[in-house]
């Protein structure tokens, strides 16, 4: 049962996240940030990972802490559900077109976190949310999930489309990477026999 629950409480946020890697894309998301909720719903739906997120944060200050901590908790929950990562496909890649936008996301669940973020935002805000916060979410997710993650927006004009294609790309790449490899379900996908540490 590849399921996990993470709870995090600080002076800035209180967050509870539950995931089921072998779900059907069911979600229940409440962060207090409407657009972030929408993106996390997309992440669940297109990865087929069941996702529950309940977050309360210091939104009277800004959206930074809640956004970043949500990324941390979702990443931690996925890492916990993966266990020692035996049998996973490990790699995933997706190209997501969305109207005028095309974004590529590649992931390696290597247990070596690294983010490459080649995403320009045409507008500094998306509704009430600072556009720069989306990089913070992906950085937090990558770090806590133990994922090498490359996100590259090839082109696009609409900030909403660009951000949404990034989350959908992550979802589809993650869906591939967490799948159990039917040809080698009994082994960690590494010649070292373990994921993480040095190359």
- Predicted pLDDT of residue 196: 76
| Arithmetic mean of pLDDT, 151-163 | 98
**Mean per-residue pLDDT for 86-101?**
97
pLDDT for residue 199: 46
Residue 17: count other Cβ atoms within 10 Å of its Cβ: 26
Q: Which tokens is 45 given?
A: 């739906």
Residue 197: pLDDT over 80: no
What digits encode the pLDDT tens for the residues 71-93? 999 999 999 999 999 999 999 99
Average pLDDT, rounded, for the chain:
95
Mean pLDDT score, 164-178: 98
User: What residue ranges define each of the domains in the chain, with the CATH number in brackets?
Assistant: 3-178 (3.30.230.40)
Share of the chain above pLDDT 90, in %: 89
Instruction: Give yes or no for a contact between 92 and 172, defined as CB atoms under 8 angstroms apart.
Output: yes
The backbone torsions φ and ψ at residue 160, rounded to the nearest 5 degrees and listed phi first, read -60, -50
Task: Give this prediction's pTM.
Answer: 0.95
Query: What are the pLDDT digits (tens) for 27-53?
Result: 999 999 999 999 999 999 999 999 999
In this prediction, residues 137-159 reach a mean pLDDT of 98
Contacts of 71 (CB under 8 A, 6+ apart): 136, 137, 138, 139, 140, 141, 144
* C-beta neighbour count of 118 within 10 angstroms: 11
Gap between the Cα atoms of 44 and 124, Å rounded = 26
Report, as an integer, the average pLDDT of 130-134.
Answer: 97
Residue 111's closest CA among 137, 135, 136, 76?
76
Binning pLDDT at 50, 70 and 90, where does residue 194 land?
Answer: confident
């Amino acid at each position: 049962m590849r399921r996990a629950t993470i709870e995090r409480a600080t002076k800035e946020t209180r967050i509870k996240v539950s995931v089921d890697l072998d779900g059907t894309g069911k979600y229940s998301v409440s962060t207090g940030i409407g657009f972030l909720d929408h993106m996390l719903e997309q992440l669940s739906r297109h990865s087929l990972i069941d996702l529950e997120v309940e977050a309360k944060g210091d939104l009277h200050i800004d959206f930074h802490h809640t956004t970043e901590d949500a990324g941390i908790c979702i990443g931690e929950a996925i890492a916990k559900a993966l266990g020692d990562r035996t049998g996973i496909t490990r790699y995933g890649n997706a190209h997501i077109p969305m109207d005028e936008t095309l974004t590529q996301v590649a992931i390696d669940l290597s247990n070596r976190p690294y983010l490459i973020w080649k995403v320009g935002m045409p507008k500094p805000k998306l509704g009430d949310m600072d556009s720069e916060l989306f990089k913070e979410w992906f950085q937090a997710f990558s770090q806590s999930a133990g994922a090498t993650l490359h996100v590259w927006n090839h082109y696009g004009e609409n900030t909403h489309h660009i951000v949404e294609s990034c989350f959908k790309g992550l979802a589809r790449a993650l869906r591939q990477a967490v799948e159990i490899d039917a040809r080698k379900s009994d082994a960690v996908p590494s010649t070292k026999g373990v994921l993480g540490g040095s190359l």
